[in-house]
Amino acid sequence: MNKSLLAIGTAFFLLLTACGEKEVAKPVEEQSIQVANEPVVEKNTNNAEDLFEQAVKAVDDNNYAKATELLEQSCHQGYAKACGARGQLYDRHWGGIEHDLQKAMQWYEKACDGGFAEACIEIGELYEKGREMPENYPQAFKYYEKGCLADHAKSCFKVAEIYSHPYKAEQSGVPYDKDYTQTTPLYEKACGADIAEACRNLGVIYGDGRGVNQQDKEKAKFFYQKSCDLGDKLACGWYHKVK
């Protein structure tokens, strides 16, 4: 099995830019986190993105020690995606790297603060699911919103999911959007980025006439069809039920 960072698990999210969006590279304050028994790679003068690409190759060669050092160098030079990838190595325990969620969160924070919204989502999901920490919806919402404010479609979808769910909204301390007035534009943004569930939810909204001017079954069918085409089987079934 090819263990390139581009193919590990469910498509190592930090090495792909969701929906064609790119992180904004910002200065990242250096942090020294040593990995026991891992050799130090000689200082590389290449730019941060090149260091990241070298890290990808190192993982493809199963050299996680080298990849770790390269990712840290890239992160310290301001490449936020590298910070997130370093965090995910701690989080996912790949290549013999110790699992340490606290350290993973530190690197995710660097990536999120540096403009890489996928890392903000990763933090939000850790809080929402309460994995190895207490469930904390206000914190989850905070990180989802941070990504959404940076115009990141998947982050906006996460915000919409909280607004439109009574329990999640209450736990997050935000108003439940029962009429979908706030939620609909967020789902539209996410659907425009080919997030299937967002398209299906728009089908429900237009089918019921909630959060929009009036019921519009043609639009409902359009969004169900798009969701179905994106692989959502539930939307496929609902498409045929719209009359």
Q: What is the pLDDT of residues 128-148, one digit of tens each?
A: 999 888 999 999 999 999 999
Among 3.50.50.60, 3.20.20.70, 3.40.720.10, 1.25.40.10, what is the CATH number of 183-239? 1.25.40.10
Cα distances (angstroms) measured from residue 220 to each of 145, 217, 228, 238:
27, 5, 12, 9
Query: Which parts of the chain register pLDDT below 50?
Result: 1-45
List the domain boundaries for the chain: 13-106, 122-172, 183-239
Angle between helices 153-163 and 183-192 (to 10 degrees): 150
Count of CB atoms situated within 10 Å of the CB of 87: 28
Residue 204 CA to residue 208 CA, distance in Å, equals 6
Burial degree of 71 (CB within 10 A; 0-12, 13-18, 19+): buried
Residue 200 CA to residue 208 CA, distance in Å, equals 12
Residue 139 CA to residue 125 CA, distance in Å, equals 10
Residue 196 CA to residue 31 CA, distance in Å, equals 38
E strand segments, 3-139: none
pTM: 0.78
Predicted pLDDT of residue 243: 64
